[in-house]
Amino acid sequence: VPLLDAALSLSEAPTAHDALDGILRALARTTPVDAVAVLLAAEDGALDVASQLGLTPASRGLRLQPPEHPRLSRALRAPGPIRFSDPREPDPYDGLLAGRAGPVDPIHACLAVPLYRRKKLVGVLTMDALDPRGLDGIRDDDVRIFAALAAAAAPAPAPAGGGRSRPDDRRMLGRSPAMARLDREIQLLAPLPTTVLVHGETGTGKELVARALHARSPRAAGPLVIVNCAALSAQLVESELFGHVKGAYTGATASRAGRFEAARGGTLVLDEVGELPLPAQAQLLRALQEGEIQRVGDDRTHRVEVRVIAVTNRDLWREVEEGRFRADLLHRLWVIPVHTPPLRDRAEDIPLLAAHFAAVFAAQIGGRAVRLHGEAVERLAGHAWPGNVRELDNAVRRAILRRMADAPAGGRLELRPDDFELEGSPRAASPPRRATASAETLADALARVRREAFEQAFAGAGGNAAEAARRLGVSRSFAYKEGLRLGLIEGKR
């Protein structure tokens, strides 16, 4: 009957992933396994966990490199199912079995079978049982049948140059409401031709968002050009972006296309757009508004055939107030802003991310199993992470290296709370604001007065930013921005 169920999910499941899930569930009913998984080969040869039962949530989105996992690379070359018996060979899922607090006993049953569709290798199916004899009951022929069904169910690999398996489209992990919302925004905005402004604190994944917007757009097959505006000198920035003609200035010995032209048919990402000097901002505005650019020293205009994504970790409204950023350009960019949330606002994602970074780094350093102690996870989840996801990644890597130094011999590493050196304070539960005994700092007092003034003005203005601005004697854009920041009004989309 499990076989029939597997066949039915192949023909009846609404999506390829549902079909794989159904096949694995049926397989798990034939024999007492602790984990089963289907790994699908990406174009670059990496294996992505596409469907699984019995692994921890950290395995979702996990990408394994076969050269780092001897069992997987042997399975990929095998003609049929292989059963692994050498306990010295690391199991690819060590540390990832769900419901296992302790280490995985190296002496457990493990088998893998390559998945072929129309003679093409598409992935691997794996089974693990903690009971060393746990897989004795399933015959190789049955494994082959389930493997054939899984291969048939596997989604077709994305065409070269586009789709999810592009190495550029690195996955954004997180299941918090904030991440779900960000994902929906990307889904919604990616197909549009419009300019998008991605803003958020350092290390929150702005570059990943920009890449995802490109990868999921109709321009995915075109070039993705990323320019770091902060890295360009004020003299060269215009020529870099827009190109120049021969003789435009000393040293311009030949004509040269700029990044706008290099990104033709694709996406141009202007990273750290807040660093653009004012003259270049004027040119950029013109490119966005009129859809044309001019090479430096050239009268002729070229049509802009790129989608622009601007990225910043600065508060551009403040930059406008201080005269460093053009208000008209910001208004133009602010039409579609995408905010990447700071990690402290989605602390529920921290365990998942930490486990993911541990698994990735462990694979990079030779597949040594790494596990996070529960108290370590708690400590990480309580930290404020001013450097956000990047800081978390680095903290996990450093902790692993530190543990390895203490335990250089092979075997599983367990990261404990003390292995993490976290700078700064833990995430404050709630700051003792206006506590009677302790005096308020000047900064806190100013922030409070400021908030109260905005709250009053917006309440008096019925939520209208223009009216609130008039009451406060500030510019409308400033009032609007502060209203958004303080949660007094909803952003319009």
Ligand X SMILES: Nc1ncnc2c1ncn2[C@@H]1O[C@H](COP(=O)(O)OP(=O)(O)OP(=O)(O)O)[C@@H](O)[C@H]1O
Q: Are 188 and 159 in contact (CB under 8 A)?
A: no
Nearest residue to ligand X on Cβ basis = 205
Does 48 engage in binding with ligand X (CB under 6 A)? Answer: no
DSSP-assigned letters across all residues of 424-475: SPBPPSS--TT-SSSPPPHHHHHHHHHHHHHHHHHHHTTT-HHHHHHHHTS-
Which residue in 120, 94, 124 sits closest to 24, CA to CA? 124
Does 239 engage in binding with ligand X (CB under 6 A)? Answer: no
Does 339 engage in binding with ligand X (CB under 6 A)? Answer: no
Which is closer to Mg ion, CB of 182 or CB of 296?
182
Instruction: List all residues 6 or more positions away from 133 whose beta carbon is below 8 Å from its beta carbon.
Output: 109
Residue 406 backbone phi and psi in degrees, to 5: -80, -30
- Binding at 175: pick from Mg ion, ligand X, none (beta carbon under 5-8 Å per type): none
CA distance 54 to 439: 53
Q: Which stretch binds ligand X (CB under 6 A): 50-58, 171-179, 418-426, 432-440?
A: 171-179
List the structure tokens of 72: 């997987």
Which is closer to ligand X, CB of 95 or CB of 174?
174
Does 364 engage in binding with ligand X (CB under 6 A)? Answer: no
Q: Are 176 and 154 in contact (CB under 8 A)?
A: no
Which of 95, 174, 222, 337: binder of ligand X (CB under 6 A)? 174
The side-by-side arrangement of strands in the sheet containing 63-64 is 63-64, 47-53, 35-41, 120-129, 109-117, 82-84
Q: Closest approach of Cβ 344 to Mg ion, in Å?
A: 19
Q: Closest approach of Cβ 206 to ligand X, in Å?
A: 3
Does 389 engage in binding with ligand X (CB under 6 A)? Answer: yes
In SS3 terms, 101-147 reads as CCCCCCCCEEEEEEEEECCEEEEEEEEEECCCCCCCCCCHHHHHHHH
Does 75 engage in binding with ligand X (CB under 6 A)? Answer: no
Does 390 engage in binding with ligand X (CB under 6 A)? Answer: yes
Q: Closest approach of Cβ 350 to ligand X, in Å?
A: 11
CA distance 224 to 214: 7
Does 60 engage in binding with ligand X (CB under 6 A)? Answer: no
Which is closer to ligand X, CB of 9 or CB of 340?
340
Does 314 engage in binding with ligand X (CB under 6 A)? Answer: no
Which is closer to Mg ion, CB of 20 or CB of 227?
227
Q: What are the residues binding Mg ion (CB under 5 A)?
A: 207
Q: Closest approach of Cβ 271 to Mg ion, in Å?
A: 6
The residues in 340-359 that bind ligand X, with binding defined as CB under 6 A, are 340
Nearest-5° Cα angle at 440, 438 to 442: 150
Q: Are 273 and 229 in contact (CB under 8 A)?
A: yes
Q: Closest approach of Cβ 311 to Mg ion, in Å?
A: 6
Which residue in 271, 259, 261 sits closest to 209, CA to CA? 271
190 to 229: interface string for ligand X, x by CB under 6 A: ----------x-xxxxxxx---------------------
**Alpha-helical regions (H) of 298-441:** 316-321, 327-333, 350-364, 374-381, 388-406
- Binding at 173: pick from Mg ion, ligand X, none (beta carbon under 5-8 Å per type): ligand X
DSSP letter, residue 253:
-
- Binding at 389: pick from ligand X, Mg ion, none (beta carbon under 5-8 Å per type): ligand X
Residue 17, H or E segment: helix 16-30
79 to 118: interface string for ligand X, x by CB under 6 A: ----------------------------------------
Does 394 engage in binding with ligand X (CB under 6 A)? Answer: no
The binding site for ligand X (CB under 6 A) comprises 170, 172-174, 200, 202-208, 313, 340, 389-390, 393
